Structure 1
Amino acid sequence: MSIKQGIYARYVKRVLDFSLSLLILLLFWWVLVIVAILVRVKLGSPVIFKQPRPGKDGRIFDIYKFRTMTDERDEHGNLLPDLQRLTPFGRKLRDFSIDELPEILNVVRGDMALVGPRPLLVEYLELYDDRQRHRHDVRPGITGFAQTHGRNAATWEDRFEMDVSYVERISFPLDLRILVDTVLVVVSRKDVDSAEASARTITMDTFKGSNRE
């Protein structure tokens, strides 16, 4: 059973997300164009990285990001580890979350919200426990409560608990605070990497399920 949502979460939030995202696109489309050109020159094509992610109620959609890695492969045709394919330019895009900018299009389409639990990999859907699954009661966000309270440095369990806590108390003041905190976190580059990250995943290790009694 889904967590009961209030009037703001059910009706107002989507209208604000659509309106603000459309305004951002109209005012800052040129930023997206400049970054796209730089990505094309420095990393090649395609400029946009597209990947299936689960959204509200587990519905799968394609998330859009600027690519941050090359397609370099070993002698057997396998992609090299992430760290070897991530260029200094790509790292800057990630550090300042510039690679996330195309997700504004996902918000306009209705796949995502400005604020909400981050959309993770499809294969994680089967690994969540009953409480963690509630992170999919709402649209995923470009930023969220977990991203402003530990970002990638928090453990998976802590991040999921923060996600569900957000779902349980969604409000306009909370969304506004998260948006402001996101700017501060991005500018400070705080907690970009996790202590659990491997050479392949860079920022956060793969979620393999929670070990809860």
Structure 2
Amino acid sequence: MDLAFALGVAVVFWWALVLIWLLVRIESKGPGIFAQERVGKDGRPFICYKFRTMKSGTANLSTHEVSASSVTRLGAVLRKLKLDELPQIINIFRNEISLVGPRPCLPVQRDLVDARRRLGVLALKPGISGLAQVNGIDMRDPETLARWDARYLALQSLLLDLKIILATALGSGNGDRVAN
């Protein structure tokens, strides 16, 4: 399912990916694609790709620790529509991420990494969307997030994944919110 989705996006929406990349580059200085190290399956690091939604030079912190003023106008739209996540098809092709799973965190988010390790969540491949996200849980509270990720681990099924994908497409959850 992951590869079919990634291939479908690449083949059908390649023009939209190029257009978004171009618009990001035009709106503000810096690269169109943002690459950041994240924690993957079994705690292994990988580089996660997204369309850049923040001004160049923004501190490399967890989203909830970054000021809302760092988000560009286009970036706010991309984040709201979740289009900033589309370059993660690269990560799907590289078998580093799934459509559904725990959202990958930064290596510096030690409390979350430790909680996920303790609850067995790191056995899962991270996802572009997850059960916690569609229920409005973000990375501000590592313990709560890890418990929701563990709930996903316990309940994981194709039907649940389809429900999460549908909820994501319909706009459930707020994604990772920036600081005010």
Normalised by the length of structure 1, the TM-score is 0.72
SS at match of 1:152: coil
Change (3 A) 1:49 1:133: farther
Structure 1 residue identity aligned to 2:83: I
Q: 1:129 aligns with which of 93, 102, 115?
A: 115
Partner of 1:90: 75
Structure 2 residue identity aligned to 1:46: P
Structure 1 residue identity aligned to 2:179: S
1:134, distance to aligned residue in structure 2 (A)? 2.0
How far apart, CA to CA, are the structure 1 residues paired with 2:40 and 2:116? 17
Q: 2:166 aligns with which of 168, 180, 183?
A: 180
Structure 1 residue identity aligned to 2:131: F
CA contact (8 A) 1:131 1:164 kept: no
1:82, distance to aligned residue in structure 2 (A)? 3.3
How far apart, CA to CA, are the structure 1 residues paired with 2:34 and 2:133? 21
How far apart, CA to CA, are the structure 1 residues paired with 2:128 and 2:151? 17
Change (3 A) 1:96 1:54: same
1:130, distance to aligned residue in structure 2 (A)? 6.6
CA contact (8 A) 1:68 1:91 kept: yes
Change (3 A) 1:54 1:192: closer
CA contact (8 A) 1:153 1:191 kept: no
Change (3 A) 1:131 1:69: closer
How far apart, CA to CA, are the structure 2 residues paired with 1:177 and 1:83? 30
Matches within 5 A, 1:1-213: 16-71=1-56, 82-125=67-110, 128-129=114-115, 132-152=118-138, 155-185=141-171, 191=174, 198-199=179-180
Change (3 A) 1:132 1:143: farther
Structure 2 residue identity aligned to 1:92: V
1:113, distance to aligned residue in structure 2 (A)? 0.3
Identical columns (%): 38
SS at match of 1:71: coil
CA contact (8 A) 1:132 1:161 kept: no
How far apart, CA to CA, are the structure 2 residues paired with 1:39 and 1:169? 38
Partner of 2:63: none
Output the aligned Cα RMSD. 2.4
CA contact (8 A) 1:132 1:164 kept: no
Change (3 A) 1:179 1:130: closer
1:175, distance to aligned residue in structure 2 (A)? 0.6
1:45, distance to aligned residue in structure 2 (A)? 2.5
Change (3 A) 1:62 1:131: closer
Structure 2 residue identity aligned to 1:141: G
Which structure has the larger Rg over C-alpha atoms? 1
